């Protein structure tokens, strides 16, 4: 095996191990909390939101200390980005206040699904992991495919969490989540390839999560 291939495999293995640890952490924290507290959609969302925010802060600190590039914002925040941002904000407000029944609990669930989750996942996958994989492979279309596969497999953890909460067929749940993750990953990855940053992907991710 060529040295370059060994480096790529070693990097991918380390990424997979890190992703597995994060998902196990998510599942473990939820299971631990709900041994003492009733598990509802709201409580699940709040536990996940808090955990993701903590992980997000740790990732940002890690990137700054290691001087890692994750291309969060576009190099030039032009009129197009401003217009899309305004449209996204209007869409969020309309959805929260007019489409959904507004309440404090619903607003926090909305914040978790449409803002916290997109920022966390896009920074992790289309930011940090994308940059690391692209540095090893040096061909963005391959990076696109690799990150899409990783993002699809990441959803296995969500499937297990749903199964532990509501039961059902674990295999079908995993298959559906992986397919969903792959489709989602293809869309988000295409945006990342086109824009070279995470920002627009976060906006689109948040809007799609409203429907998902």
Read off the pLDDT of residues 51-71 as tens digits, 9 standing for 90 and up: 999 999 999 998 888 888 788
**Minimum mean pLDDT among 41-50, 80-89, 99-108, 125-134: which range?**
99-108
Q: Is the pLDDT of residue 209 over 70?
A: yes
Which residues 6+ apart lie within 8 Å of 147 measured at CB? 125, 126, 129, 130, 133, 185, 189
pLDDT in tens, 87-108: 999 988 888 887 667 788 889 9
Stretch 146-171: mean pLDDT: 94
Range of the domain at 153: 3-211
Q: How far apart are CA 76 and CA 81, in angstroms?
A: 9
Average pLDDT, the chain: 91
Q: How far apart are CA 29 and CA 136, in angstroms?
A: 33
**Higher-pLDDT residue of 177, 100:** 177
Question: What pLDDT is attached to residue 102?
Answer: 76
Q: How far apart are CA 198 and CA 81, in angstroms?
A: 12
Q: Into how many domains does the chain fold?
A: 1
> What are the CA-CA distances from residue 53 to residues 64, 159, 188, 189 (Å)?
17, 21, 21, 23
Question: What pLDDT is attached to residue 118?
Answer: 96
Stretch 121-139: mean pLDDT: 92
| Residue 75 per-residue DSSP state | S
Question: What pLDDT is attached to residue 136?
Answer: 87
Stretch 120-145: mean pLDDT: 93
User: What count of Cα atoms within 13 Å lies in the side-chain half-sphere of residue 68?
Assistant: 20
Question: What pLDDT is attached to residue 179?
Answer: 96
């Amino acid at each position: 095996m060529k040295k370059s291939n060994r480096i790529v495999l070693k990097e991918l293995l380390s990424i997979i191990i890190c992703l597995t640890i994060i998902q196990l952490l998510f599942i473990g924290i939820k299971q631990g909390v709900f041994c003492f507290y009733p598990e509802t959609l709201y409580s699940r969302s709040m536990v996940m939101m808090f955990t993701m925010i903590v992980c997000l802060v740790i990732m940002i600190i890690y990137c700054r200390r290691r001087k890692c590039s994750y291309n969060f914002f576009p190099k030039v925040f032009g009129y197009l980005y401003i217009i899309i941002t305004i449209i996204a904000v209007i869409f969020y407000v309309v959805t929260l206040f007019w489409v959904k029944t507004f309440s404090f609990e619903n607003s926090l669930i909305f914040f978790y699904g449409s803002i916290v989750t997109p920022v966390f996942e896009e920074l992790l996958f289309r930011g940090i992991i994308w940059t690391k994989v692209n540095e090893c492979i040096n061909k963005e279309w391959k990076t696109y495919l690799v990150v899409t596969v990783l993002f699809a497999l990441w959803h296995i953890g969500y499937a297990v969490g749903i199964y532990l909460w509501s039961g059902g067929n674990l295999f079908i749940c995993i298959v559906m989540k992986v397919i969903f993750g792959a489709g989602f990953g293809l869309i988000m990855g295409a945006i990342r390839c086109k824009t070279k940053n995470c920002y627009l992907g976060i906006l689109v991710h948040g809007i799609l999560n409203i429907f998902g």
